[in-house]
Amino acid sequence: MISKKELLIKMHISYGQLYRWKREGLIPDEWFIKQSVSTGQETFFDEELIIPRIEQILNYKDKYQFDEMKDLFSKEKPVNYDYKKALTLDVIDPYFLKIYLNGRKDIKINELAVIYILTELDGTIESMNYLKNDFSEVKNNDIIFVVSSEAKSYLLIAPYLEILDQSLKIIKQYKIEDAIYKIASII
């Protein structure tokens, strides 16, 4: 992982450039991973994704408009992690991973984050019951809430829970971005 400040220094770019490229869709929102640090919140990136992307942008910026670059990048295969690599992560239950993948050979990091959280939660909830769901659309800023009602626990995935039925109680919550940071640091 590389912090935002380290990235600016390493690639000799400014905040203005970085945020303009984010606004123009050249750097996906989900690549910005926020983490709590002693001084507040800091943003990190997966170095293997962000460095090549910025190098591409710097190479292309005099040849293509932003829209053209965005089109070029959208045609690239999304970066997924090979399932064999994912199986080596000791924070993820390999059995859960196999069931979730159901024959697929790769997985996105946000899906891995959910499987990691389900591994952590197994026992509190019946994690197996959730493995048939598709977690590929889960966003970095989503939170997994474990809510209980009448001695049973359930899973909710949302960016926030503004209104909750009074009969439900939140007993645990996990931020997807924290899980992504954990996995990206060890994968």
Residues near another protein (CB under 8 A) are 4-5, 8-9, 14-17, 19-20, 22-23, 39-41
Residue with smaller CB distance to another protein, 141 or 153: 141
CB of 144 to another protein, least distance (A): 21
- Cross-strand bridge partners of residue 125: 122
CB of 43 to another protein, least distance (A): 9
CB of 26 to another protein, least distance (A): 13
Residue with smaller CB distance to another protein, 37 or 164: 37
Residue with smaller CB distance to another protein, 17 or 153: 17
Comparing C-alpha atoms, which of 121, 120, 90 is closest to residue 183?
A: 90
Residue with smaller CB distance to another protein, 40 or 78: 40
CB of 73 to another protein, least distance (A): 18
Comparing C-alpha atoms, which of 155, 187, 182, 186 is closest to residue 170?
A: 155
Residue with smaller CB distance to another protein, 41 or 166: 41
CB of 111 to another protein, least distance (A): 24
Please state, as a whole number, how many other Cβ atoms lie within 10 Å of the Cβ of residue 125: 20
